[in-house]
Amino acid sequence: MSQLLLSALPVVCPNCDGFNPPRSATCVLCGQAMEEAAPAPRPAATTPPRPATPPPVAGPGRPAAVASFPRPGEPTTPPAPPLPPSAVPPGLKPSARTPPPTAAQGLMVEARRAASPAAGTPPPPRAGYGPALPPANTRPPPPVPDNALPPRGGTGATAPVPAGAPPTTTGATARPAPVASRFGLAVIAGTTRGQRYKLPVTGCVVGRQRGAILFPDDVFVSPLHATFLVKDGALFVRDESSASGVYVTFAGTEPLAPRALFSAGQRLFRFTGRVEAPAPVAGRPTPYGSPVPLGQALYGVEEVHMGGRAGRAVVTAAALLTIGQAHCDLAYPNDEGLAGRHCELSPTATGAMLRDLSGGLGTFVRIPPATERQLRPGDRVRLGQHVMQVETLG
């Protein structure tokens, strides 16, 4: 194996580091004898001679094997004539698109004498390594200042920023701060009681998962529950089709339509509307029942339990239906949010009129979904178990 490597690898000159053909005696570049730098040969191990095997004879359609590369000074045998095309197997025939073989490049270099360089001139390149290159700069490039970078909103360089000037943002990233309105909201009931919010002129969204005001712990608040809007110096609230609805207080009286919902204390009620007697059907008997009072309209109010189930109900023909803690048509003595006589209803031609008698505790009515209702300072808004009061800021 060592003889094969010596006959295949080029020899490096110890004087000029030039490459020479295998087994060269002298350097073809500087003329230095290779024998001077060559190490002393080690004694070869005595091994019994192996019988020489005759080289295999190339048969038809079979290439000849080469035992070793020729050594310098040894007579070389002429190459065997190429086989006729008919004798070459189809798999070994060269393609018409295959380029002809060329001599290996990079092993033999041109013989040049090393001349001493003049003063002030760069040293000549070493043979076989190409032109001399300047030393590589391993230092990292200096950082690019921010004012030399193009703006994010477009192309081109920005104007230099003077020293000491505050940093400015481009139009693509600048976001104007919201302008506050003169309205605010204070939470007076719920888990976030005591919190105060200043409403911007662009409005505010309230919900359990979306919005600027979040009530994540209130299970009765929808992900997007309500929106507060500021229009022409007035504050409005809109129900975003929430499941539990938006309830607001009123001053004095409030008209109710049939099936309207209102809240007093911790109770929720529904005005059922007038109870009309069924018209008699010709040819059918009239169902038996109590006589209907003449000249009086029957109407009713029912309590709505959690989940929309109906609870206690009162149907009356009286001029007033009262709700409170005691001595009322619907009395709840243990409800601390109710006054003694909290509110009363009186029937009208189109529904009923609800009157607040709570003395500041408040009676809430539900606004229709996707509609806006104007709010005034001091009004209260109920969203789930949270109650917020409208304030005027200085």
Q: What is the pLDDT of residue 156?
A: 46
β partners of residue 365: 248, 262
- Residue 266 and residue 336 share a domain: yes
Q: What is the pLDDT of residue 105?
A: 45
Q: Regarding beta strands 213-214 and 204-207, do their DSSP bridges make them parallel or antiparallel, or are they unpaired? A: parallel
Identify whether 213 is part of a domain.
Answer: yes
Identify whether 136 is part of a domain.
Answer: no
- Ranges of residues in the chain with a pLDDT under 50 are 36-40, 64-67, 103-116, 128, 154-158
Beta strands (DSSP E) in 240-366 are: 246-249, 253-256, 261-264, 267-274, 299-304, 310-316, 321-324, 330-331, 343-347, 352-356, 363-366
Identify whether 229 is part of a domain.
Answer: yes
Query: What is the domain extent for residue 226?
Result: 182-244+368-393
Residue that has been written with the tokens 């803690």 in this structure: 325
- Model pTM greater than 0.75? no
Q: What is the pLDDT of residue 37?
A: 44
Q: What is the pLDDT of residue 374?
A: 96
- Residue 358 and residue 269 share a domain: yes
> With contact defined as beta carbons under 8 Å apart, do 33 and 15 qualify?
no
- Residue 238 and residue 332 share a domain: no
- Residue 219 and residue 200 share a domain: yes
Residue that has been written with the tokens 């002030």 in this structure: 120
Identify whether 340 is part of a domain.
Answer: yes
In this structure, the number of other CB atoms found within 10 A of the CB of residue 161 comes to 13
DSSP character string of 165-196: PPP---TTT--PPPPEEEEEEEEEESTTTT-E
- CATH number of the domain enclosing 211: 2.60.200.20
Q: What is the pLDDT of residue 38?
A: 45
* Side-chain half-sphere CA neighbours of 157 within 13 A: 8
Identify whether 303 is part of a domain.
Answer: yes
Identify whether 259 is part of a domain.
Answer: yes
Q: What is the pLDDT of residue 352?
A: 95
Whole-number Å distance between alpha carbons of 260 and 350? 12
- Residue 239 and residue 188 share a domain: yes
